[in-house]
Amino acid sequence: MFDQLSDRLQSTLSEVRSRGKLSESDVDAAMREIRLALLEADVNFKVVKSFTRTLKERCLGAEVMDSLDPGQQVVKIVNEELAELMGGTGEELAMAASGPTVILMSGLQGSGKTTACAKLAQYFRKQNKDVALAACDVYRPAAVEQLVTMGGRAGAHVYEQGTEADPVDIASWALDRAREERRDVLIIDTAGRLHIDQELMAELAKIRKKTDPDDVLLVVDAMTGQDAVGVAESFAEAAEFDGVVMTKLDGDARGGAALSVKAVTGKPILFASTGEKIEDFDRFHPDRMAQRILGMGDVLSLIEKAETQVDEKSAEELQEKLKKDQFTLEDFLTQMKQVRKMGPLSGILGMLPGMGAMKQLKNANIDERELDRTEAIILSMTPAERADPHIIKGSRRKRIANGSGTKVQQVNALVKQFDQMRVMMRSMANGKMPSPEQMMAMQGGGAPRPKIRRR
């Protein structure tokens, strides 16, 4: 996500980074590039203006100009300002001290409210909370049916009264019922409405007043253009929303809406919806997203993702093995299977530092079948071969190739790669994990970019 913005900012910054000394005109040139990159990414025009102004002031300040490494300082400032623009470090949803936590969802038509409701329900269900959904979209044909189906999939109770009742009444009835049935969370789905439709905005304000929600969330399509700001301002007025859910982040949207909404309304982006499946929904971390846009990777999110898929014990065992250099192809196979459980590789790679800069990887629709082949090769080895791939010579090689339906060269390549990987992993296991900044420095400064090894 945000690839194009990320590309442009990275290339501008690598130019700046390569300079030992910065003049005011260097900074000006960089600011022009950044301004254009942000506009092309749909960041609101006014936000861009004030953002580049702040940026320029800081870049021309003493902390940069007097530093030994001004280019690096500029990168640091852009990173900080981007994170600030999107909301600093992540903020939390307010939860009710007692009784059900009430969350009211609002937004334009087609921004993805109903889907976001179900995904949010699923998010709470994973925390073992008892969730109810209130179907207050009585206008769009079949909206209630959609919520019933999707809510059911998420394991939530759906409170609905068809399409004849008044949305305000449905909401307050649902709240009473959620209290009675002692649900932990009540999520209220509302109809999509235009921010300039006074009648419907008044209805939203009424629902808000009647149910006194702990959180009001605005659902915003990540592909929204310049108008995102106007929409957010109107909803802030009528619904006083507390936070934003960004949807359709799995497209190639450049994220301008994400950058602008916080800047204008001061309300943070709390959640990101990133796919067709009900699980494709997570907390939004502005600081991490800023690093990702700058190609610094998002190692924290990757680790969190891994934590949910990999159990602690086997991870520790693995660490031990790596330290002692006992990592075998058998372990590699297990690892690969676990990583693949985390989702398609292209998504995971986007979180790694520096990966954004690697064109081959980014444009490659990573061929998951290639991984199937790798699995097949390992599965065609005997336990002894998996434990010590060095014994794989002539006839063994041929047998493995035949067994896995591959070629001898492919078997060779795998064994060689495995060797290289083992060296790298050993140093990482011994605590030499490169920091994102180090990885950035490694790529920049005119140094050759790391070559990607092709499988």
Partner 1 sequence: MATSWQEIFDLGSRANENGSAAAEPGPARRGVFRRLRESLSKSRQALTEEISASLFDRIDEETWERLEEALILADAGAPTTAAVVERLEHEVESGSVPADGVAVRDRLIAILAEVAATGWEPIDLSAEPAVLMMVGVNGTGKTTTIGKIAWHLSKEFGLSVVLAAADTYRAAAAEQLETWAERAGAELIRGEAGADPGSVAYDAIGAARARGADVVIVDTAGRLHTQTDLMDELAKVRRVIAKQIPEAPHETLISIDATTGQNGLRQAQIFSEAVEVDGVVLTKLDGTAKGGIALAIAGDLGIPVKLIGVGETLEDLRPFDPEDYAKALLAE
Rounded-to-integer distance, Cα 159 and Cα 178, Å: 9
Comparing CB distances to partner 1, the nearer of 44 and 404 is 44
Q: Which two tokens stand for residue 73?
A: 């300082």
Q: Applying CB under 8 A, does 221 fall inside the site for partner 1?
A: yes
Q: Is 432 exposed, middle or buried (0-12, 13-18, 19+ CB in 10 A)?
A: exposed
Whole-angstrom distance, CA of residue 179 vs CA of residue 199: 29
Rounded to a whole number of angstroms, the minimum distance from the CB of residue 250 to partner 1 is: 6
Of 61 and 230, which has the nearer Cβ to partner 1? 230
Query: By CB under 8 A, is residue 202 in contact with partner 1?
Result: no
The enclosing H or E element of 345 equals helix 345-349
Measured from the CB atom, is 99 or 152 closer to partner 1?
A: 152
Among 18, 89, 198, 382, indicate the residue that binds partner 1 (CB under 8 A).
Answer: 198
Among residues 90, 225, 403, 445, which is the contact residue for partner 1, using CB under 8 A?
225
Indicate the residue type of 381: M
How many residues touch partner 1 (CB under 8 A)?
Answer: 45
Q: Tell the residue number behind the tokens 């444009």, with chain if given.
A: 363
Q: In this structure, are residues 98 and 37 in contact, taking their beta carbons and an 8 Å threshold?
A: no
Of these, 54, 161, 172, 226, which contacts partner 1 (CB under 8 A)? 226
Of 82, 105, 253, 348, the residue at the interface with partner 1 (CB under 8 A) is 253
The reply to whether 25 sits near partner 1 by the rule CB under 8 A is: no
Q: Does 108 bind partner 1 (CB under 8 A)?
A: yes
DSSP, res 19 = -
Name the residue nearer to partner 1 (CB basis): 139 or 173: 139
For partner 1, the binding residues in 348-377 under the rule CB under 8 A are 365
Q: CA triplet 210, 212, 215: central angle to 5 degrees? A: 135
In the bound state with partner 1, the residue whose beta carbon lies nearer, of 53 and 398, is 53
196 makes contact with partner 1 (CB under 8 A):
yes
Cα distance between residue 155 and residue 172, in whole Å: 22
Most distant CA pair in the chain, distance: 79
Binder among 59, 218, 228, 261 for partner 1 (CB under 8 A): 228
Task: Locate 110 and state its tokens.
Answer: 């087609």
285 touching partner 1, by CB under 8 A:
no
Is 146 a binder of partner 1 (CB under 8 A)? yes
Near partner 1 by CB under 8 A, which window of 195-203, 208-216, 332-340, 383-391? 195-203
394 near partner 1, rule: CB under 8 A: no
Smallest gap from residue 5 Cβ to partner 1 (A): 10
Residue 248 makes contact with partner 1 by CB under 8 A: yes
CA distance 422 to 428: 10
Integer Cα distance of 306 and 121 in angstroms: 22
Among 24, 63, 145, 311, binds partner 1 (CB under 8 A): 145
Is residue 93 within 8 Å of residue 215, measured between CB atoms? yes
Report the site for partner 1 in 297-336 (rule: CB under 8 A).
none
Query: Do residues 301 and 288 touch, judged by C-beta distance below 8 A?
Result: yes
Quote the CA–CA distance of 103 and 186 in Å, as a whole number.
6
Residue 225 CB, nearest distance to partner 1 (Å)? 3
Least separation in angstroms between residue 9's CB and partner 1 is 15
Strand order in the sheet with 243-247: 157-159, 131-136, 185-190, 101-107, 215-221, 243-247, 269-273, 281-283
Question: Which alpha helices (H) appear in 18-128, and where do they start and end?
Answer: 24-40, 45-59, 62-65, 70-86, 113-125
Half-sphere exposure of 393 (CA within 13 A, CB side): 2
CA atoms within 13 A on the CB side of 416: 9
Rounded to the nearest whole angstrom, what is the least distance from the CB of residue 151 to partner 1 in the complex?
9
Report in angstroms how near the CB of residue 144 gets to partner 1 at its nearest: 8
Only one of the segments 10-18, 177-185, 248-256, 446-454 lies at the binding site for partner 1 (rule: CB under 8 A); that segment is 248-256
Asked if residue 276 binds partner 1 (CB under 8 A), the reply is yes
Q: Of these, 41, 258, 272, 293, which contacts partner 1 (CB under 8 A)? A: 41
To the nearest whole angstrom, how small is the minimum distance from the Cβ of residue 355 to partner 1? 17
DSSP code at position 356? G
The reply to whether 423 sits near partner 1 by the rule CB under 8 A is no
| Among candidate residues 143, 173, 141, the one with its CA nearest the CA of residue 159 | 173
Stretch in the footprint of partner 1 (CB under 8 A) among 41-49, 74-82, 127-135, 446-454: 41-49
Contacts with partner 1, residue ranges (CB under 8 A):
36, 39-42, 45, 108-112, 139-143, 145-146, 148-150, 194-198, 221, 223-228, 230-231, 248, 250-254, 256-257, 276, 365
